[in-house]
Amino acid sequence: MRGATGRLLRDLTRAFARQGWHVTVVTCGLEAGDCYEKGIRVIRVKGPANPRGTLDYMRIWWKLFFAALKQNKRHVVVSMSDPPLLAVAGLLVAKLRRSYHINWCQDLYPEVLPSLGITYSDFWMRTFTSLRRWAMNGSDKVIVNGRCMAKYLTHKGGGDARKVAVVPNWPDLELIDPEVLETLSESEAECNVPEDAQPPRPFDKQLKTRPRFRILYAGNIGFAHPIDSIIEAAVALEKEGSDIEFVFVGGGKGFDELAKVRSEKGLDNIRFIPFQPIIQLREVMESGDVHLISMKEEAAGFIVPSKLYSALAVARPCIFIGPEQCECAKVIRDYGTGVVVPQGDSKTLLKAIKTFRKSGEAWFGAHNGALKAREVYTPHNSIDAWIERAWALVRKDLDIK
């Protein structure tokens, strides 16, 4: 697995292995293979780096299912969210192997599909939803990454509140402890770049030292990440001759749209940097004066942006464009780490950006809030909470008190 979810899985499986668990990961890659990485067996089935359409996802789903089914019995089977309805495969494997099943839900399918621009008929949406509910209610534990997702599942999504647990995602270990970089292999140090992408250019030192106030967006920009208000704010600031710039690091369909608008409107205050290796992650994240996060209103309860935790790890103020009732907004309000802006409200976004640029009191207030929040949203706290849920399932079987 690539990106933020892949690194979360890496951190968690290594923590399990350190506690003496025998861990096998079944995943997808450009080439099939079977190897050991840091004492963890990794089985890769062959699949496209960027699946296109239902058939691609179905092929990957079946390959992962049969590869997992071939493995020896394990105490716990953990299923992820991607490809969609992987929880169904996980539950089937767990039942056939008489194992416990934990569904680690990062994105809630099929409910999130409309916000991603993917539509199915009412019949298929009802069918997929029924399968999702069957898989989750049949699981021994469902771990979600936000309070908004837990609320949806237990109030509207047909979930069993006794089985749902909230364990927040966490920032990359490399952001918390730079010494971790010294333990990475060469391939790990270069990870975070899509397998089918061109080799990334080094992080632009000139951009880093350029004397402009930087609004940083780091990560993927897909269908669930609105950019209209960002564009409008950039246009307004360009007309004013402001020293504020927007820097986007990563990729996704939104990058193509932003590049087109930048060219059409001649916006010198929008810059792009491709995906960077993990060894340069902290340097990139610290280069932003304020971090920008966006999420569609209709995606509330179905996804939780992990970009927030990276911003907290480097103690940067955040501006979140999205729904008030989601996890990201709640964390920002609870700790005073920044501002929540409604989707499409470019005036409020522009005001928030200018406030952070002009007011040291506002910037340092959000900075201090981020410092407090990062003491709570740590890899150690989340990983320990996650593993405790797994131990709780197997403790009786192993006669552990």
C-beta separation of 321 from 339 below 8 A: no
At 183, list the tokens: 């333990």
Q: Look up residue 291 and give its amino acid.
A: H
Q: What is the mean pLDDT of residues 203-215?
A: 67
pTM (2 decimals)? Answer: 0.88
The whole-angstrom separation of Cα 216 and Cα 353 is: 11
pLDDT digits (tens, 9 = 90+) for 75-101: 999 999 989 999 999 999 999 999 999
C-beta separation of 75 from 22 below 8 A: no
Quick one: pLDDT at residue 211?
A: 65
Quick one: pLDDT at residue 246?
A: 95
The whole-angstrom separation of Cα 290 and Cα 319 is: 7
The whole-angstrom separation of Cα 157 and Cα 94 is: 23
Quick one: pLDDT at residue 274?
A: 84
Quick one: pLDDT at residue 199?
A: 47
C-beta separation of 343 from 323 below 8 A: yes
The β-bridge partners of 164 are 142
Confidence of residue 281 (pLDDT cuts 50, 70, 90): confident
Quick one: pLDDT at residue 391?
A: 94
pLDDT digits (tens, 9 = 90+) for 368-377: 999 999 999 9
Of 127, 129, 23, 125, whose CA–CA distance to 77 is shortest? 23
Q: Going by DSSP bridges, is the β-strand pair 40-46/33-37 parallel, antiparallel, or unpaired?
A: antiparallel
C-beta separation of 343 from 297 below 8 A: yes
At 238, list the tokens: 């360009």
DSSP string, 340-397: EE-TT-HHHHHHHHHHHHH-HHHHHHHHHHHHHHHTTS-HHHHHHHHHHHHHHHHHHH
pLDDT digits (tens, 9 = 90+) for 290-315: 999 999 999 999 999 989 999 999 99
Rg, C-alpha atoms of the chain? 21
- Whole-number Cα distances in Å, 168 to 37, 233, 363, 383: 25, 31, 25, 9
The whole-angstrom separation of Cα 28 and Cα 49 is: 8
Task: List all residues 6 or more positions away from 192 whose beta carbon is below 8 Å from its beta carbon.
Answer: 2, 3, 7, 275, 276, 277, 278, 281
pLDDT at 141 over 80: yes
Quick one: pLDDT at residue 52?
A: 81
Of 338, 301, 343, whose CA–CA distance to 322 is shortest? 343
Which one is predicted more confidently, 263 or 396? 263
The domains located in the chain, with CATH, are 3-170+379-398 (3.40.50.2000), 195-374 (3.40.50.2000)
Quick one: pLDDT at residue 280?
A: 82
The whole-angstrom separation of Cα 84 and Cα 90 is: 12
SS3 content of the chain, % helix, strand, coil (to 5): 50, 15, 35
pLDDT digits (tens, 9 = 90+) for 318-332: 999 999 999 999 999
Of 252, 279, 277, 270, whose CA–CA distance to 200 is shortest? 277
Average pLDDT, the chain: 89
Cis ω before 110 (30° cut-off from 0): yes
The whole-angstrom separation of Cα 361 and Cα 232 is: 26
Backbone angles phi, psi at 158, to 5 degrees: 75, 20
Quick one: pLDDT at residue 363?
A: 97
Task: List all residues 6 or more positions away from 346 whose beta carbon is below 8 Å from its beta carbon.
Answer: 228, 229, 232, 233, 236
